[in-house]
């Protein structure tokens, strides 16, 4: 059973400030590491990881400042489709509606057209984020500032209905609205921070399938985002979500349809020292029951990281020939850190205690680069 499933079983018994047995403050920290705001702006450098309880206040400050800057330069406009009965032709004529209601006899015509509006999904999303985070910040003046900005956007014509995640996923930034990127990144993080506390007295991650998917993806993105921001200044190259290819010598016509692909979660390269660390994150217990012993590493995961390493040797890449592997699992009150060398490749199996202090979590994540693998 995964640690997430164990948390579901004890969800109703969760203490205030916890999701299962994971402190909300640590979930907030993972959300920060996983966010585009952390990657693009490096806000972790101001030391907020030392006080994640204040993270909503910091994000609210960043979001409020971004909105104020955009309001001074006017919020971005967008086009929306509209159907209307008007007294002149605009856009395309809706012939069926016009004839059915005999609008021409009254000097009217039904048209379908696009019009500029400030009530775009992007602006509605930002307004909803201001309202959401104003409910969880600690400082009253900051909560009032967020609510005032949301009211100002309302007076400008931005409606209160927030867009869906699917609508926001299709939002693209052009050259003329690139300034919105920072504001939207802050809004997304503000929404995520509100998730664990928006339902009073209940665990919002109540469905096992949804909880496993949501927290697993959060953990994967958090690990990649943390290494990308923290290690890049130290000369490391960080690649998240890279694909690996098999070293194929011969193949049949249909093998490409059935041969599994290989995709790593994080790859760390340090060219000056010739080190490469291939990291695969798993949101399950690092050990399971074995045939002849109480605990054993999951064989499928071992085979997987072994394939990642051995399939890349002999291709003229010196870093791949001596690469190390890391299987990184979360844990609650459990610590595992073991290493084995197989055919010249060091493979490390370690855990990150999500119930530990922020400093301990950071140190556990950074320990993969201490030269022990």
Please give the order of strands across the beta sheet that includes 78-86.
78-86, 109-117, 92-93
Please give the helix or strand (H or E) that residue 338 lies within, else none.
Answer: strand 337-342
Domain map (residue ranges) of the chain:
51-76+119-197, 80-117, 208-369
- Residue from 274, 254, 253, 278 nearest 264 by CA: 278
pLDDT of residue 206: 38
Are 355 and 332 in contact by the 8 Å Cβ rule? The answer is yes
Are 260 and 244 in contact by the 8 Å Cβ rule? The answer is no
Q: 149 Cβ partners below 8 Å, 6+ apart?
A: 64, 67, 68, 71, 130
- Residue from 189, 223, 347 nearest 277 by CA: 347
CA distances from 169 to 48, 66, 159, 164, 188 (A): 28, 21, 19, 9, 11
Are 355 and 21 in contact by the 8 Å Cβ rule? The answer is yes
Note if the pTM is more than 0.85.
no
- The pLDDT-based confidence of 6 (bands split at 50, 70, 90) is very low
What is the per-residue pLDDT across 160-184, written as a single tens digit (0 to 9) for each? 788 877 778 778 877 767 678 888 8
Structure tokens at 252: 């049949």
What is the per-residue pLDDT across 254-274, written as a single tens digit (0 to 9) for each? 999 999 999 999 999 999 999
Are 185 and 37 in contact by the 8 Å Cβ rule? The answer is yes
Q: Average pLDDT over the chain, rounded to whole?
A: 82
pLDDT of residue 13: 35
Structure tokens at 338: 């073991």
- The pLDDT-based confidence of 354 (bands split at 50, 70, 90) is confident
Please give the helix or strand (H or E) that residue 112 lies within, else none.
Answer: strand 109-117
CA distances from 228 to 44, 234, 365 (A): 12, 10, 12
Q: 107 Cβ partners below 8 Å, 6+ apart?
A: 87
Spell out where 246-331 has E strands.
262-263, 266-270, 275-281, 287-288, 296-297, 324-331
Mean of pLDDT values over 136-160: 92
pLDDT of residue 44: 52
Matching residue, tokens 């490390």: 348
What is the per-residue pLDDT across 182-193, written as a single tens digit (0 to 9) for each? 888 889 888 888
pLDDT > 90? residue 130: yes
Q: What is the largest CA-CA distance in the chain?
A: 89
What is the per-residue pLDDT across 194-217, written as a single tens digit (0 to 9) for each? 766 544 443 344 334 445 667 778
Tell me: domain 208-369, CATH 3.40.1350, correct?
A: yes
pLDDT > 60? residue 50: no
Q: What sections of 157-207 are H helices per DSSP?
A: 165-169, 180-194
For residues 296 and 285, what is the distance between their CA atoms, to the nearest angstrom?
11
What is the three-state SS of 237-263?
EEEECCEECCCCCCCCCCHHHHCCCEE
Burial 175-211 (b: 16+ CB within 10 A, else e): eebeebebbbbbbbbbbbbbbbbeeeeebbbeeeeeb
pLDDT > 60? residue 5: no
- The pLDDT-based confidence of 3 (bands split at 50, 70, 90) is very low
For residues 190 and 184, what is the distance between their CA atoms, to the nearest angstrom?
10
What is the per-residue pLDDT across 287-325, written as a single tens digit (0 to 9) for each? 777 666 777 888 899 999 999 999 999 999 999 999 999
- Sign of the alpha-carbon dihedral angle for 226, 143, 173, 195: positive
- Length of the chain counted residue by residue: 373
């Amino acid at each position: 059973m995964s640690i997430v499933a164990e948390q579901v079983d004890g969800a109703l018994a969760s203490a205030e400030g916890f999701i299962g047995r994971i402190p909300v403050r640590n979930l907030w920290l993972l959300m920060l590491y996983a966010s585009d705001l952390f990657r693009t702006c490096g806000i972790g450098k101001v030391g907020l990881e030392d006080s994640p309880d204040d993270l909503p206040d910091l994000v609210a400050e960043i979001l409020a400042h971004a909105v104020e800057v955009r309001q001074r330069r006017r919020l971005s406009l967008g086009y929306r489709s509209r159907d209307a009965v008007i007294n002149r032709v605009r856009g395309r004529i809706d012939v069926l509606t016009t004839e059915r209601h005999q609008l021409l006899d009254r000097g009217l015509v039904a048209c379908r057209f696009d019009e500029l509006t400030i009530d775009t999904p992007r602006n509605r999303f930002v307004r909803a984020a201001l309202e959401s985070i104003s409910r969880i910040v600690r400082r009253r003046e900051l909560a009032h500032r967020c609510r005032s900005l949301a009211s100002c956007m309302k007076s400008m014509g931005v409606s209160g209905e927030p867009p869906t995640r699917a609508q926001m996923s299709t939002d693209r930034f052009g050259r003329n609205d690139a300034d919105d990127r920072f504001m939207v990144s802050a809004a997304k993080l503000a929404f995520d921070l509100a998730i664990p506390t928006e339902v009073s007295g209940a665990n919002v991650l109540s469905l096992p399938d949804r909880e496993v998917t949501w927290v697993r993806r959060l953990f994967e993105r958090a690990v990649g985002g943390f290494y990308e921001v923290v290690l890049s200044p130290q000369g490391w190259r960080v690649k998240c979500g890279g694909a690996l290819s098999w070293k194929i010598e011969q193949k049949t016509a249909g093998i490409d349809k059935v041969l599994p692909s290989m995709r790593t979660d994080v790859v760390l390269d340090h060219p000056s020292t010739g080190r490469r660390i291939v990291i695969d994150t798993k949101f399950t217990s690092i050990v399971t029951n074995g045939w002849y012993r109480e605990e054993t590493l999951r064989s499928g995961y071992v085979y997987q990281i072994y394939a990642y390493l051995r399939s890349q040797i002999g291709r003229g890449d010196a870093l791949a020939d001596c690469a190390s592997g890391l299987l990184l699992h979360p844990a609650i009150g459990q610590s595992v850190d073991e290493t084995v060398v197989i055919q010249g490749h060091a493979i490390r199996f370690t855990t990150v205690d999500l119930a530990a202090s922020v400093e301990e979590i950071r140190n556990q994540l950074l320990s993969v680069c201490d030269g022990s693998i």
